[in-house]
Each structure stands twice: as structure tokens, then as C-alpha cells.
Structure 1
Amino acid sequence: MKISPIGGCQETLCIKVPKVYDWVTRQADIFRTFNRQTGLDELDFECTNGFTPEADPCLILNGGNGNSTLGINCDNLNVECIITDAFGNPVDPEADNGIICKEITDPRNRESFEFTLNGETVTLQKVKVLKKGFFRIQVSNGNGVVCISAPQSFATVEKFYLCAPRGTTLQCHITDFQCEAVLCCRDDGTFEQVDVSINMCQNIQMEAIVKLEITADFCQPRQEIPFECPPLQVPPQCPEVFPGS
């Protein structure tokens, strides 16, 4: 339904809006490996059966007793990678501040470089962007015993060449986030290693607040669709039994 503007005519308006100076997308990949006793100490697992600290999820969840002949096994336990804050509380990695994403270059003094694009010389600025967060590794065997690690940090710094003149600020949004972990146990049923793979898509924008003059119509709310309460539904009478004759 078309809505007529208040006053019935257009006006010249001055509005304040964020202007996008540049916008790119890129996938970031982060890998971490925790090996043998050093990695096990770093992960610092706690298990629901009370085997803490320095709990070994391979021994506890596989029931290893030093006589196993399974060899290196990475398939028989359920392993999850959970994104958390620094205190180990789960967070949504795609929510604001779920993953820290910020510029670490001085926005007042970004270095400029010249590039040739489509036969023309353009000047772009180098912007360094930090992504960092935390994760925990949770391992279970389907029998009600769960081992979960202490929070572990991850971080990566990337360079972007963007139209980022002085006065613009970085806007970073994380999308399509995945964290996967694989646990491998040794042939004696003890911990071998955990491999963690983190993949995220990032929208990187350079923005600045600007004031624009536009010609536009004022708008007003639409007419609300009327709502009427339906009549009360009275259950049918039972004339055969009530009221009695």
C-alpha cells in the first residue's frame, strides 16, 4: 500500500549516515596443535568422574589400561570445539564481541601504497586487523563421562589494502564460523594430540560518518489492520439429557 508523505511534497533533507569507503571479504584459517604430555598439560582437562587435574581423556574415556592394541585412534570419541570467552563461558562467535576483531594499526597514520587496477593507479592504505578469541575442547564417550579443557586462546593478524583515509574506522563482522577438533590416542591408550582447525569468514569495511543532502519524501505509519475479537464459542447443548422434562 502506497503511503502519501506528510504535507504531500518532497523536501531537501540533511541526514547523517555511515558511508562505506571500502568493503572486502576474506576467509581466515587458524590451526593449533597440542602434542603429548606438554599439550595435555596445556589443555588441563577436567572430567566429570573426578579425574582432575591432568586428566587424560584417552585413558578415562576409552578405559585404557596400558594394554591396548588399538594403535593411534582418532575416531571412537566424540570431540567438540566450543567457542568461549576468557572465562570458559560459551559465546556465539558470530555475535558482536563474540570474537574480537579490531584494527591494530594507528588509524591516524596508516601507510599508503599505490596499485594499478583496471589500468588506473589507485592509492590504498595498509590496515592490520587482529582476530582473537577462546575455545574449549570437550570430549565424551556416550556413557555420561565428559572431559573438558581449560579455555585456550587463538589469534591471527592479517594485512588488508583498503581505501582507508584518515577519519575512517574499521567495521569487522564475523560470519560462517567453524571450529573443529580431532583427538588422537596412542597405542597404549594414552593421549597423543589434539588438532584444532578454526575457519571464519570476515566482512571488513572502512566507514566514516558523513552528512548528506538528499531530496525525499517524509513518510508516516501505515494504517493498522483492524483486529476484532471473535465471538465467544458456546459449547452445544445436549437436549437429550439436560434440562430434564
Structure 2
Amino acid sequence: MVPNPIGPECIRVTKVYDWVVLTNRDRNKVQIPEECFAAIEDARHDGNTITATCSEVVGTRSCDFIGAIPANIPNVPGAQIVSLAFHVHIRVQFFCNGEPLPGCNFVVPVSFMDEVILCFPEGTEINCNIFDVQCTVVLNQMLGDMVVLDVTMCKDVQVEAEVKLEVEAKFCGPRPIIPIEEDGFVCPTPRFPQQCPTFFPTLNCDCQGAADFSGEATITVTEGLIGGGLTTGQLDLTALVCDQCTLSGSRIQVTFLDTLGPTPIGTPDAEGDQSFTFTANDFNQPTCVIDPVTGLVTGLTATGTGVITPAGGVPENATFTLILADVDPGLDTATLTITGATTTVIIPLNEAVNPGLEVEVGDCERFPV
């Protein structure tokens, strides 16, 4: 099997600098062709029932960039009010007692103009498209030879540029619309495309941390894994909390092989074997520890849920608490407490007793000036 480890990758991609979804609903009066209007009037005069439908003509969606002016958002260089025009063609058809009326199948254009605040720095481009169109004919609002169409249009607008990134990725979604202020101001134009970090994308975490250890360790296992108390074995622990300052970039994986049982290392069904594995699957926002003198983040506490699987046992849901302290030189500590329905595990690691322990904790200023 070819190894497939998770790690940073350098890729050339279209970077999304901003992304919003817009929805327009409006009633448009459209002219009924002369031949069709005459047929409708004749049918009504004879006491027939007139109905109508409207639908999008496939392949007619389009979006035009009109222009942009600076937006009045303090401390966000690159934010602009962008004007866009969206177009689609709608087919309208009238029926008499359910049968198509002659000359009453025609196409009309429908357009919407939008203004939206976007992070739109120099060097980026607007990519907009219509992803859904709904239409209804409002027959009770026919005005002479005019008919009213109720049209809803859903649009996707992104600001993009091609860049090279080192990434560990997750899915993301659009942000809420920002109300447009009446007054604007001229903001400086950056030389290169710069992100608008104050409103897109939103940083999920205030601090981030990592711990890694592989080697012999003494831990506490009570109530559940056969036996109890202190036990020594081979421990492999990897923890990432808010990797790249993103909560979804968090993971904890623990494997412990008990070496003190009466059977070979890792035998799952041996009496007295206290081996187990643990995988975290959900993380809460971590609590950051800040040094009052330096103002730097020196530790964090992360909590969440996961699954612990004892040797020879059934996987059970568990909660966890991970406490990391980045104290250089040589005083790093990592403590992981896992509490399941029948099992409690405490893993206390410190660099002095457990050589090879690596702990890194910091704030989320990922790109130093």
C-alpha cells in the first residue's frame, strides 16, 4: 500500500478573496405580442379559462461587471462597492383551457442590477454566475397588453486571483451581506492582492497548538480497561489544535500498547492488557493562556469528544481535555485526560521525564509582518 500521510502541500489554485450569495425577487411588466393578446381577448370573450406559465430559457444566463468604487469600511484596504448586472431570458406561454394558444409562446429578457461590498483588491477578478431562476406569471395583475412576471434570481459572486498556496484545506461557505453606507471614501490601493482578514474568511481560533510524542510513558488507566492504576507502555500521541488557526484543522490520535501484561505487546484479548486507541472527532474553541509579562500565548486548553477503543473491547464515546504548555527551554508539558463511559485515562507528559516531547503553542498571527 502506498503511504498517504496528511501534510502541507504547495498548489497553484484560484484563491477566493471574497464570496457572497445574492438573491433578487422582483415583478417585471412585459409586453404581450399583439397576436397573442388578441387570442387571449377572444378566448376570454368566449368564457374560456386562461392560464400561463413562465420558465428560464436554458443557456441564457449571464453576468456583467459594471464598475467599482471604494467602500467606507475602516481598516479594510481593498474593500469596494461593486456594481453587477445579471441577465436571463424567460419564456412565457399562455393556454386556453389547458391547450396552447396560437402565437402565445414568446421570450422576454429579464435583468437585475446589484451593488455589493466586496474585498476587491487590485490584481483580482470578479467571477459571478446565476445558479437558480424561478418564475411565476401573475395573471391577476395583467395591465392591458402587459403581463407581470414574478422572477427570483439567485447569484453567486466571488473575487478571485491565481496564487500558489501551502494549504491544509476545509470546505467554506459565503459570508453575510454587508449593508452599503451612503457615503464612501477613497482608500489606498495595495500593490498586490491582499486578503480582507477582518471579514473574510473569518479566523476560527485565537490561538493554535501542537504536541507530538512517541516513546515509553507511564499513564493512569482506571475503571474499564482490565486492571487499573499506573501502567507503562509504548505511547504514540499526535495532537493538532486549530491547525492553521482553523478549528476544523484539529485532530488528536493516541495509541497505547501495554508492555506490562502477561502477553506480548499489543495483544488485544489478553487479561490485564491495558492497551487502547483514541481518536478525537469534535473540538470546542480552545482557551488560550497568555503570559502577562510578554503578552505571548504560552499555552492552551482544548476540550471535545472522541472515541476510545480498549484492547479487545467495544469502542465507546468519550470526552477529552488537552492542556498544552510551551515553556522553553526543556519544560514543555502536555496532559490529556480521556473520560469514557467505563474508562478514564490520564496521560501526563513533560519534556524532562519524556524526552522527545514536542509542544508548540502560539497565537493566530500566521503571517508575521
* Alignment TM-score, normalising by the size of structure 2: 0.39
RMSD: 3.3
Match for 1:196: what amino acid? Answer: L
Amino acid at match of 2:33: D
Contact 1:61 1:145 in 2 (8 A): no
Contact 1:184 1:191 in 2 (8 A): no
Instruction: Find out whether 1:27 has 2:23 as its counterpart.
Output: yes
Q: What SS does the aligned partner of 2:71 have?
A: strand
1:56 partner amino acid? A
In the alignment, is the contact (CA less than 8 A) between 1:79 and 1:140 conserved in 2?
yes
Please report how far the alpha carbon of residue 125 of structure 1 lies from its aligned counterpart in structure 2 after TM superposition.
1.3
1:80 equivalent in alignment to 2:38: no
Which of the residues 63, 82, 88 maps onto 1:133? 88
**Same amino acid, percent of matched pairs:** 25
Kept after mapping to 1: 8 A contact 2:93/2:100: no
CA contact (8 A) 1:58 1:185 kept: no
Matched, 1:182 2:134: no
Amino acid at match of 2:80: Q
User: Is the 2:130–2:156 Cα contact (8 Å) retained in structure 1?
Assistant: yes
Q: Does 1:99 align with 2:97?
A: no
What does 1:1-245 correspond to in 2, within 5 Å?
Answer: 4-5=2-3, 13-34=9-30, 39=31, 43-44=32-33, 53=35, 55-62=37-44, 64=45, 76-84=49-57, 91=58, 98-105=60-67, 110-116=68-74, 121-123=75-77, 124-147=79-102, 148-184=104-140, 193-214=146-167
Partner letter of residue 25 of structure 1? Answer: V
C-alpha distance 9-150 of structure 1, shift in aligned 2 (>3 A): closer
CA contact under 8 A between 1:79 and 1:181: conserved in structure 2? yes
* Aligned residue type for 2:154: C
Question: Which segments of 5 or more consecutive residues in structure 2 lack a partner in the other structure?
Answer: 170-369
Matched AA of 2:157:
I
Judge conservation of contact 2:15–2:163 (CA < 8 Å) in 1. yes
Mapped contact 1:128–1:158 kept (Cα < 8 A): yes
Distance 1:82 1:54 in 2: 18
CA drift at 1:55: 4.4
Deviation at 1:83, TM superposition (A): 1.8
Deviating runs (4+, > 6 A) in structure 1?
Answer: 8-12
DSSP-derived class of the 1:59 partner:
helix
Matching residue's letter, 1:19: K
User: So what's the TM-score if we normalise by structure 1?
Assistant: 0.57
How many matched pairs? 167
Partners of 2:122 and 2:141 in 1: CA distance: 53
**Distance in 2 (alpha carbons) for counterparts of 1:61 and 1:78:** 11
Structure of higher RCO (CA pairs closer than 8 Å, 6+ residues apart):
1
What stretches of structure 1 of length at least 5 have no aligned partner? 46-52, 71-75, 85-90, 92-96, 217-245
Amino acid at match of 1:202: K
Is the 8 Å Cα contact of residues 62 and 129 (structure 2) preserved in structure 1?
A: no
Judged with a 3 Å threshold, the aligned counterparts in structure 2 of structure 1 residues 203 and 14 are, in CA distance, closer, same or farther, namely same
- Once the two structures are TM-superposed, the CA of residue 161 in structure 1 deviates from its matched residue by 1.1
